[in-house]
Structure 1
């Protein structure tokens, strides 16, 4: 068994360089606000090459932990790097990083006291780090506000994750049906949608978010891999910590320095499993650090090596040679798979970016389809392709209603997009049977085709019901069902026109009202539900009753922004523009990002000849809806001295089935 000391020292040096690389990247882009790449998805100030903002903070914390024992030796190169990492941790100022550093520094303070090394640099630095960690934990919020006020938070994004009790509730639900093996890898997001507390949906910002990660790694393992998976991870961590604490005080010399560094870095990351849902890079870094710890024990003579002679006999040599060949071929195949998967992700992200920035559905679709060619196993790629085809279906109908194309051209464009959307949505369901969004987009595709074929109503409702089974607390599915019933009611009236047809259509409208009221009960500020319900009241000539009901609702729930918006829109429909203006101004003041309130407020200003005030509202709305073609036309018209109402899409907004602008609340939080 040859000595690994040379390789280990090289690994220590290489890993230190790797740890240093990403903070240097972050310093160039995060601190100096200089974008190193022009791509929009990586040019944001908060972007870094390691993952989320919190993941970068954990990487810096790992560097601090890894380099802290170097103060007990003679290494000078690592000391400046240590203070750079500490500065980065101070600027990021995340509580769980300070908790981990406090635990680690307390351990080395206790170690120095036990070994009577109070005069050493390691004791002094560990004590200072312990005091700094405690200070930042006690003053975390005030200090964070100071950084936000004076340093613009360095572009720090708002990262959120489920609370501990919410994640634990999901775990209890999953373990009730599959206690040993859990729900399967990468399924937390599906379990969140299925079992989340309905009260969470009412949150105005994150109520509709699908969290793909839980509160911490251990609970995520419990949910996705069951008791066996979580127990194996906890036992692994416990064995590592026990072995580290057992030899920490007995290691000395250069070999002891390597033992302490590897253990400190590994301990920091292992403990982070209990506080944060680490990404794959940090997870692999944990095992690398633990591996280096056991190698350092071997080199220090503390751990006896296990010697295995792979080629002691011809038979054994043949078996292991064959195994090595299989591993080599598997490695090449794995590299090919990961490369194509990575290229697929790049193309997919470029497609989303194209649509969000330009609104070009065809260009975005080409990029997404290129991503499918690279990696055809991702249901979200097919779902996005189906959504883009759905946009093309909707735009064909809009162009026809505005007189831009003939009926035959509309039918050809609609049919082509419908067939492609249907195929992509079916493929998405085939690959992701547990994702409610796949069934939802297929239901929307069928729902848009109801005016051409009433039989698609049944197909639409079946898919929405399946989506509701997978995500029972999602109010948007209820809105989809309501719109489907309203589409059927419209077709029934157009095709029949008699008393019986109107009675049947009225029953469909009542069913739609039932679904909309359920959606509003789940999420009171759901703009789309309030808008559609107001439209329905207008169609049924019940505006006075609806306005009286909205006023009563506001008296009972004065903080309900959705109810206030509904009152404003009802007044707008009634052409009570002065009162509607006051209501929309109140909504905009209380919820500055409420795009639809600002949209109608801009129309009222335009109607009154207040062009500058109208332009201000529409430009504010365009910030959150950069790819909306109608908004671009309105802004261009106002800037050229025209009127907004002259370039509005048909039908006018007060007669449309859905709100002019979609809800801008986030739908999904990606894995960190």
Structure 2
């Protein structure tokens, strides 16, 4: 029966190697967790998966050279599978998005042509390499072991974090994220229910799968996802109804063809002619307990499980937040995007650009006002935006083809035996589950890879439908055909080997870049710049160039803080660093001019040059910021930064305008309100300044700097009685706030309460002995009953408190 797939052991060696290397590296990609933070977890997983797929492809091609033929499964779903990478390729070419971003993303993101091409390769390899019934048995065994391993290791992570909270991050997940663990748990629950229903299991196997099911439900409870619960409940309901309604008939067998044997998995039937294992899936011993339990638990958590999930997470000290744009926001972005980029979309991995460009300003009233979302409500809806109508058609074609072929396979068609039908059903429902999840969630790359792997296995099992249109193409008998096929296969080999080289280079660059950012965070400027430069040697990216620009800005600020003189040599050193930083920022813009962050980094460098009196620096900074604002038009942060630059240039009217626009976008923007009060002081608008400061205090009642400003401005307007309680509140929050003590003493002195004024001034001396020379004459005057302070304008009063442009001051 399977003679069409039978070759000599030597001929099959390449095929076996391809199979086991493919599965081994897929498993490694799924479970690898590297504690060292310089190795990005998702990039590491994708790199391993890509290398495993390419090596497996090379071995498969070598096997075809050796064997001289190719066995093709039904090609409809192969075409549907590749329609999505094709759509991403068309979008990459015609959308106008930066090529490097569309192909690889910033760090191997899933919404890229490169990743979807890899998924097409994974699905195709699974369809061609995992082709024999014994392969399916290996796959199911490995899947069960892999699921248990992932669940147990994740449980160990939770236990260790619970006992030693600082040892392991609560966000650590074997699969990369808790979103991935949720999807994987739902997938395992579906496959376990199918195993209970259609595979005869021993008592030991039933316990094993029962534990798997319990783990699945536990992780689904912890990382609550309504979409996962709904999909699992639908599967459970279908299996429960099918189990109840199906009439179980005794199993009949042909004595001359089959014999019943005992296996460690339960009852099986051996085909005497083929020696392949055939499960007795018509036996009457199936349990409906598993789908019933899952159905009841699912309905409970669908109706009101979010609160319980929160309680469980708090008990286990697992705190994570999975925030994505809503359906409404995603659809709004899609509708607006289609107005200008309908056919090919905005380009792969450009959702962030579209989000920032088209989002509603109401987002500024939420805690996520400054969050650059990389995806919408789900992976597939995100793809609709980035790949346009072409991508939408491709995804719909894949889903419709999968569902249509699946329904026909299990209702109209018959399989050569029931065990193959069971494997096909598990692969079909598993892949469909993952793809439906992609509509509602944005998982990591490994979860998406599971879906394409199962799709490939489902395509592979279609060979075994009766009267299937499976073809075996032999190309060794015809010299012309042999040359053509070998040429094409060799071309594929060269292309994929080049792809492997590029993947390794990109991954190495990503590791160096992560190391650079880590060094920059701890203040090691030279090491950070060296690592960023190494990153650029392996792959040019706007992220690496921008990081070098940020490093330059940080280096200048460090020199300014530690400088003991402003000699010409010092000025030349500063200008040299700034010039290098500006060149790197401009290089980042050349690679990706659609990223507002690149323009923002350029503006920051020009802004640093403003106090150095570099000609044209203020105009250049504002020009870069205006370009950033055009790419992120509802960001109050950009306007606030423009105001900071205006203050440093003493362009207070410009600063006033920028700050009012920022506050109009975000009415509770405390930093902007506080800075506006200081700008108004410089413009001689004491009353307006006081109003702005009091608004800032309303939104930040425990910010001592804001309270201090309110107190100073009340003193400036002659309201000493109103200034005193506010300044006392600032001192209560920050007892070491010397300026607050000083202006509280001023208020007391103007109220002729010299005793309390002296107390505040003595507190300043206690904070630092260096203040004694300045404070001593003031205390002496107060002890003589003389007020050394005089009521002055707000501008004079605030002169002792320079305008601070850093956040929160």
Query: Which TM-score tier does this pair reach, normalised by the shorter chain?
Result: 0.7 to 0.9
Structure 1 residues 82, 141: CA separation in 2 closer, same or farther (over 3 Å shift)?
Answer: closer
State which of 12, 35, 41 in structure 1 corresponds to 2:140.
12
Deviation of 1:546 (Å): 1.4
Partner residue, 2:179: 54
| SS state at 2:316 partner | helix
User: What residue is the counterpart of 2:280 in the other structure?
Assistant: none
Q: Aligned to 1:245, which of 394, 407, 411? A: 407
8 Å Cα contact 2:176-2:444 kept in structure 1: yes
Q: CA deviation at 1:581?
A: 4.7
Structure 1 residue 338 and structure 2 residue 503: aligned? yes
Query: Could you tell me whether the CA contact under 8 Å between 1:59 and 1:282 is conserved in 2?
Result: yes
1:409/1:94 CA distance change after superposition, 3 Å = farther
Matched position secondary structure for 2:649: helix
Using the TM superposition, name which of 133-142 and 13-22 deviates more: 13-22
**In the TM superposition, what is the alpha-carbon distance from 1:479 to its structure 2 partner?**
1.7
Aligned residues: 581
Distance change in 2, residues 1:361/1:527 (3 Å): farther
Indicate if the aligned counterparts of 1:22 and 1:48 stay in contact, CA closer than 8 A.
Answer: no
Range moving further from structure 2, 64-73 or 515-524: 64-73
Q: What is the CA-CA distance between 1:272 and the residue it aligns to?
A: 0.4
Correspondence 1:196 to 2:339: no
Match of 1:522 in 2: 665
CA distance in 2, matches of 1:224, 1:601: 53
- Conserved? CA contact 1:547–1:567, under 8 Å: no
Given the superposition, is the C-alpha separation of residues 335 and 607 from structure 1 closer, same or farther in structure 2, using an over 3 Å criterion?
farther
Cα offset for 1:565? 7.6
Alignment of 1:616-627 (within 5 A): none
Give the aligned partner of residue 449 of structure 2: 284
Aligned with 1:655: secondary structure? coil
Aligned counterpart in structure 1 of residue 169 of structure 2, from 32, 35, 44: 44
Distance 2:337 2:248 in 1: 50
Q: Does 1:23 align with 2:151?
A: yes
The 2-side partners of 1:511 and 1:191 are apart by 29
Contact 1:70–1:79 (CA under 8 A) maintained in structure 2: no
Q: What is the CA–CA distance in structure 2 between the aligned matches of 1:55 and 1:287, rounded to whole Å?
A: 15
In structure 2, distance between residues paired with 1:148 and 1:80: 21
Q: 1:63 to 1:148 in 2, by over 3 A?
A: closer
Partner of 1:441: 601
Higher mean C-alpha displacement, 267-276 vs 451-460: 451-460
Counterpart CA distance in 1 for 2:736 and 2:533 is 38
Deviation of the 1:484 alpha carbon:
2.6
Q: 1:531 to 1:344 in 2, by over 3 A?
A: farther
**Judging changes above 3 Å, is the alpha-carbon distance between structure 1 residues 409 and 304 closer, same or farther for their aligned structure 2 residues?**
same
RMSD of aligned alpha carbons: 3.3
Contact 2:379-2:441 within 8 A present in 1 as well:
yes
Residue 660 and residue 476 in structure 1: after superposition, are their counterparts in 2 closer, same or farther (change >3 A)? closer
- Tell me if structure 1 keeps the 8 A contact 2:673–2:692: no
In the TM superposition, what is the alpha-carbon distance from 1:645 to its structure 2 partner?
Answer: 9.5
* Aligned equivalent of 1:383, options 520, 529, 546: 546
3-state DSSP class of the match of 1:308?
Answer: strand
**For residue 427 of structure 1, what is the aligned residue in structure 2?**
587
- Residue pair 2:703, 2:730 contacting (<8 A) in 1 also: yes
Structure 2 counterparts to residues 258-269 of structure 1, below 5 A: 258-269=423-434
Structure of greater Rg: 2
Paired position in structure 2 for 1:467: 628
Return the alpha-carbon distance in structure 1 between the equivalents of residues 495 and 147 of structure 2. 28
**Partner Cα distance (1:233, 1:454) in 2:** 54
Deviation string, structure 1 residues 302-349 (Cα, Å, up to 9, x no partner) = 744133334342112112212222222223222222222222222222
The 3 A distance-change label for structure 1 pair 479 and 108 is same
Structure 1 distance, partners of 2:578, 2:639, is 23
Query: Cα 1:565–1:476, aligned 2, differ >3 Å: closer, same or farther?
Result: farther
Cα deviation, 1:630-659, whole Å, max 9, x if unaligned, reads: xxxxxxxx9xx965998xxxx999414413
d(CA) in 1 for partners of 2:803, 2:218: 54
Deviations 1:115-172 (A, max 9, x none): 246985453211211111111112222202321342223xx32121111100100000
1:222 is matched with which residue? 384
Aligned with residue 236 of structure 1, among 380, 393, 398: 398
Change (3 A) 1:19 1:381: farther
Once the two structures are TM-superposed, the CA of residue 244 in structure 1 deviates from its matched residue by 2.2
CA apart distance, 1:371: 2.6
Alpha-carbon deviation of 1:183?
0.5
Unaligned runs of 5+ in 2: 6-130, 250-283, 716-722, 743-762, 772-797
**Structure-2 change in CA distance of 1:454 and 1:415 (3 Å):** closer
Deviations 1:544-595 (A, max 9, x none): 54114544x47xxx9644998885242354574641453697xxxxxxxxxx
Cα 1:470–1:660 change in 2 (3 A) is: closer
Listed as ranges, the matches of 1:284-323 within 5 Å are 284-299=449-464, 301=466, 303-323=468-488
Q: Flag the 1:512–1:570 CA change in 2: closer, same or farther, 3 A.
A: same
Deviation readout 1:249-271 (Å, 9 max, x if unpaired): 66673222212211221121011
Counterpart Cα distance in 2 of 1:148 and 1:79: 23
TM-aligned CA distance change 1:220 to 1:311, over 3 Å:
farther
Q: Give 1:180's aligned residue.
A: 343
1:212 is the counterpart of 2:374: yes
* Structure-2 separation of matches of 1:352 and 1:606: 37
Q: How does 1:59-78 map to 2 (within 5 A)?
A: 59-72=184-197, 73-75=199-201, 76=205, 78=209
- Measured after TM superposition, the shift of residue 367 of structure 1 is 2.9
2:126 alignment partner in structure 1: none
Whole-Å separation in 2 of the counterparts to 1:302 and 1:27: 47
Q: Provide the rounded CA distance (Å) in 2 between the counterparts of 1:29 and 1:408.
A: 56
Aligned residue number for residue 576 of structure 2: 416
In the alignment, is residue 533 of structure 1 matched against residue 693 of structure 2? Answer: no
- Alignment partners' CA distance in 1, 2:710 and 2:311: 44
Residues 115 and 583 of structure 1: CA distance in aligned 2, closer, same or farther (over 3 Å)? farther
Partner of 1:670: none
- Structure 2 counterpart SS, 1:339: helix
Q: TM-score normalised to the size of structure 1?
A: 0.79
Deviates more, 1:473-482 or 1:185-194: 473-482
1:658 aligns with 2:805: yes
| Residues 660 and 267 of structure 1: CA distance in aligned 2, closer, same or farther (over 3 Å) | closer
Q: C-alpha distance in 2, partners of 1:524/1:254?
A: 64
From the superposition, tell whether residues 13 and 644 of structure 1 become closer, same or farther in structure 2 (CA, over 3 Å).
farther
Partner secondary structure for residue 520 of structure 1: helix
For structure 1, the 5+ residue unaligned runs are 490-507, 586-597, 609-637, 663-672
Distance 1:528 1:441, change over 3 A: farther
